[in-house]
Amino acid sequence: MKLLLGVGGRTESARALDRTLSRTRETGDDLTVAVFDDGDAASLDDVEARVRDALVSHGVDGEVRRVERDAGSGLVGLAEREGFDRIVLGGGERSPMGKVQVGAVAQYVVVNAPVTVTLVR
Amino acid sequence: MSGGEREFPDEPAGPFPTPPREAVDDERRTIRYRAVGTDLGCETARSALVDMYRAFDPADRAQGIPPSTESAIADWLDAILTDDARNVVAFADATDAAVGHATLVPDGDVYELAIFVLQAYQGAGVGTELLRTALGHGAATGVDRVWLTVERWNGPAVALYRKTGFETDEAESFELEMCLRLAPSQTESTG
């Protein structure tokens, strides 16, 4: 399966990255990681460096791309143009109360993607 | 997210009543409102709330809370029944069982609010009194700004929050985000 994993700077993305890489090592899925800006303080360079480190430490091959500008439509467009089967994203963070809050990028992708979307929590 | 990113109203809402107090609901049931830590011991509150949340209808879950299993409920209550949070529990006088719970959980120097009312006590004014009493308890104990999220389709809850003085802010999300300011000097004194 051709997987597109979107990774931003927040904790939810770190969790999605770790879980997806562990799984990809077992399934052998064809993985592309798209780095995007989710408003976190981390720069795209920081996030990309984290992704490359994680690929090495999990022993997984994967192409690393960047979604510049609008992350939601960028991810959906990339999945459409290049025939991805599935988009994987972090599925929200919890508020101090424990309420799940799904971010703007995940909301856009869930509503607009033509392919299956997996939110990792 | 923290308080600094939110737009709180300039004018404080209230005045609000403080616990302990009791009120008769629209179905003539006497409900007692008690603050955890002052009117009610933490362990007593915790066990009453575990019973209440075990009976909670999954349809009334909001953004993943209350959790569904007993162990997850216990973990969640441990996280919100802390010394720096403010919790008010509504008890049905007839059975002494918890039928509602409002909580203000610290988020930096502001507080996140949530309220839950057992299905059989919804639509009878218990939520309104519980919310007002929790805000009164907060105002009397140094809470000055409160925010919450609520699902956009949850019309009765949104109406209750608006009526109480919450204003929506501009956050673009599945949920509506609402904020309220409290003035410590404006609590009502009621029995």
| Domain segments of chain B as ranges | 3-186
- Give the pLDDT band (50/70/90) at residue B3: very low
Euclidean distance between the first and final Cα of chain B, in Å? 37
- B33 pLDDT above the threshold of 60: yes
Residue B185: its pLDDT value, please? 59
To test the contact with chain B by mutation, choose from A94, A99, A105 the residue with the greatest count of B C-beta atoms within 10 A, namely A99
Closest by Cβ to A101, choosing from B67, B105, B149: B149
Residue A54: its pLDDT value, please? 97
Q: Could you write out the DSSP letters of every residue in B13-40?
A: B---B-SSEEEE-TTS-EEEEEEBTTTB
Check if the beta carbon of residue A49 is closer than 8 Å to that of residue A64: no
Measured between CA atoms, the residue of chain A closest to residue B81 is: A97
Of residues B64 and B4, more confidently modeled: B64
Mean pLDDT to the nearest integer, A3-31: 95
Paired strand residues for A7:
A35
> Could you tell me if the ipTM is greater than 0.85?
no
Of residues B155 and B17, more confidently modeled: B17
- B63 pLDDT above the threshold of 50: yes
CB within 8 Å: B173 and A99 = no
Range of the domain at A21: 2-120
Mean pLDDT to the nearest integer, A72-87: 97
Amino acid letter, A6: G
B9: preceding bond cis by omega (within 30 degrees): no
Amino acid letter, A112: N
Number of domains in chain A: 1
Q: Which residues of chain B form beta strands (DSSP E)?
A: 21-24, 30-35, 86-92, 98-107, 110-117, 145-151, 167-168, 175-181
Residue B175: its pLDDT value, please? 82
- A50 pLDDT above the threshold of 90: yes
Residue B59: its pLDDT value, please? 85
Measured between CA atoms, the residue of chain B closest to residue A92 is: B63
pLDDT digits (tens, 9 = 90+) for B86-131: 999 999 999 999 999 999 999 999 999 999 999 999 999 999 999 9
CB within 8 Å: B107 and A101 = no
CB within 8 Å: B64 and A95 = no
Cβ atoms within 10 Å of A44's Cβ, excluding its own: 15
B20: preceding bond cis by omega (within 30 degrees): yes
Cβ atoms within 10 Å of A87's Cβ, excluding its own: 24
Mean pLDDT to the nearest integer, B8-12: 95
- Give the pLDDT band (50/70/90) at residue A86: very high
Q: Is B174 on the interface with A (CB under 8 A)?
A: yes
Residue A30: its pLDDT value, please? 97
If residue A19 lies in a helix (H) or strand (E), which one and from where to where? helix A11-27
Average per-residue pLDDT for chain B = 92
To test the contact with chain B by mutation, choose from A97, A102, A108, A121 the residue with the greatest count of B C-beta atoms within 10 A, namely A97
Residue B153: its pLDDT value, please? 85
- Tokens 């616990």 found at: B19
Residue B79: its pLDDT value, please? 95
Q: Is A1 on the interface with B (CB under 8 A)?
A: no
The domain that contains A35 carries what CATH number? 3.40.50.620
Q: Is A119 on the interface with B (CB under 8 A)?
A: no
- B1 pLDDT above the threshold of 80: no
Class of the CATH domain delimited by B3-186: alpha beta
- B173 pLDDT above the threshold of 90: no
Residue B190: its pLDDT value, please? 53
B79 interaction partners in chain A (CB closer than 8 Å): 98
| Proportion of chain B above pLDDT 70, given as a percent | 92
- Give the pLDDT band (50/70/90) at residue B172: low
Residue B71: its pLDDT value, please? 94
To test the contact with chain A by mutation, choose from B2, B49, B63 the residue with the greatest count of A C-beta atoms within 10 A, namely B63
Check if the beta carbon of residue A118 is closer than 8 Å to that of residue A109: no
pLDDT digits (tens, 9 = 90+) for B145-157: 999 999 888 888 9
Q: Is A41 on the interface with B (CB under 8 A)?
A: no
- B4 pLDDT above the threshold of 60: no
Closest by Cβ to A96, choosing from B62, B112, B173: B112
- Any idea of the CA torsion for A46, A52, A53, A59, to the nearest 10 degrees? 160
CB within 8 Å: A97 and B173 = no
